[in-house]
Amino acid sequence: MKAEVGKAEAGLVAARVELARVTDLVKQKAIADRLQDEAQERLDAAIAERAAAEAAVGSSKAELTLAAAQGDAAQADVEVAKAMTDVARRELDELDELIKFTKLTAPFDGLVTQRSVNPGDLVRNTQSGSGKSGSPLFVITKLDRVRIRVPVPERDAPLASVADVAKITFQALPGIVFEGEISRVAGVLDEQTRTMLVEIDLPNPDGRLRPGMFGQATITLAPPSDTLTLPANAVRFDEQGNSYVYVVDSSNQVAITEVQTGLDNGQHIEIISGLDGNERIVGPLLGRLKPGQTVSVN
């Protein structure tokens, strides 16, 4: 376009020079007057041609500016489209996460033992205040291994520890004894019952043991190795329930020594106090001995 303007400008200069030359010749009466009119027309045409070329240049600049503006608008549209794509992608991710809530998967294989909803029920978010607060949708029970909870009396709680042998029977399964070991110990006593909870895990491959059953547990609580124990039939009790033993001194005379007992498993009784372990204790016998009585030690 600049070349067209330059060409028109050159034509205009030539037309002006031609008009001036022709005007001088007309004044000198060297040529006819009509030649001056023709030269004027050529000058007017050159002026119009230059104006057209400049208009074309302006139009081209306007088109270029418009194209640039359209390019900026298109770029802005691209950025908006990218932003909308990101929003749509996030909404899709959110929908995917919500869809996952439509499928409930238990953390282990088991049996549905409690159902709070049925197909078609509206499940509400209990945290929002609606629905049954604290009510689970389903309760899954794992039956291939059951957990037995046993409250151990306060007196025996200090002796209970993991791996202590336990035998368990159930009224619903007469004649069957299940053997296991303590798997967990609570370590603290219940303030109301004054008992300590221990747990025993039992294999249940055939499903005979059902959650909720009641039974009896016999736990062998081994006392510490430095604890003094006596055969159960060597410890005697008076009418008030006080425990004592017959002790034979160095002169083979009998003396009665009161003792304080601890754990009693039916075969041995723990002696908490009253003896130091160096005494000679009279074993099981028929009848009673008297203090000061002389006996024969075999």
CATH number at residue 233: 2.40.420.20
The better pLDDT of the pair 132, 135 is held by 135
155 domain residue, yes or no = yes
Does the residue 95 lie in any domain?
no
Q: Which of residues 127, 142, 157 is at a domain's end?
A: 142
What's the rounded Cα separation, in Å, for the pair 274 and 247?
11
> pLDDT by residue (tens digit) across 11-54?
767 777 776 776 777 677 767 777 777 777 777 787 877 777 77
- Sequence-distant (6+) residues with CB within 8 A of 11 are 46, 49, 50
Stated pTM of the model = 0.47
Distance CA 221, CA 228 (A): 14
**Which amino acid, one-letter code, is at 56?**
A
Report if residue 115 sits inside a domain.
Answer: yes
- What pLDDT does residue 131 have? 44
- By the 8 A CB rule, do 71 and 58 touch? no
Over 90: is that where the pLDDT of 226 sits? no
- Residue 271: inside a domain, yes or no? yes
Query: Domain for residue 92, yes or no?
Result: no
Would you state the pLDDT for residue 39?
73
Domain residues for the domain of 243 are 228-281
Residue 294 lies in a domain: no
3-state secondary structure of 183: strand
Residues 8 and 60 in one domain: yes
> Considering only 79-88, 121-130, 205-214, which range has the smallest mean pLDDT?
121-130
Q: Are residues 201 and 235 in the same domain?
A: no
* pLDDT, tens digit (0-9, with 9 covering 90-100), for 259-281: 998 877 777 888 888 888 888 88
Angstrom distance (rounded) from CA 117 to CA 136: 9
Which pair of tokens denotes residue 117? 């909803």
CATH of the domain at 176: 2.40.30.170
CA 161 to chain centre: 31
Which residue is it, tokens 């055969």? Answer: 231
The pair of three-digit structure tokens given for residue 89, joined into one six-digit string: 């992608």
170, 187: one domain: yes
On whether residue 175 sits in a domain, the answer given is yes
Number of structural domains, the chain? 4
- The answer to whether residues 67 and 119 belong to one domain is no
Q: What is the mean pLDDT of the chain?
A: 83
Looking at the domain assignment, is residue 97 inside a domain? no
Residues 170 and 134 occupy one common structural domain = no
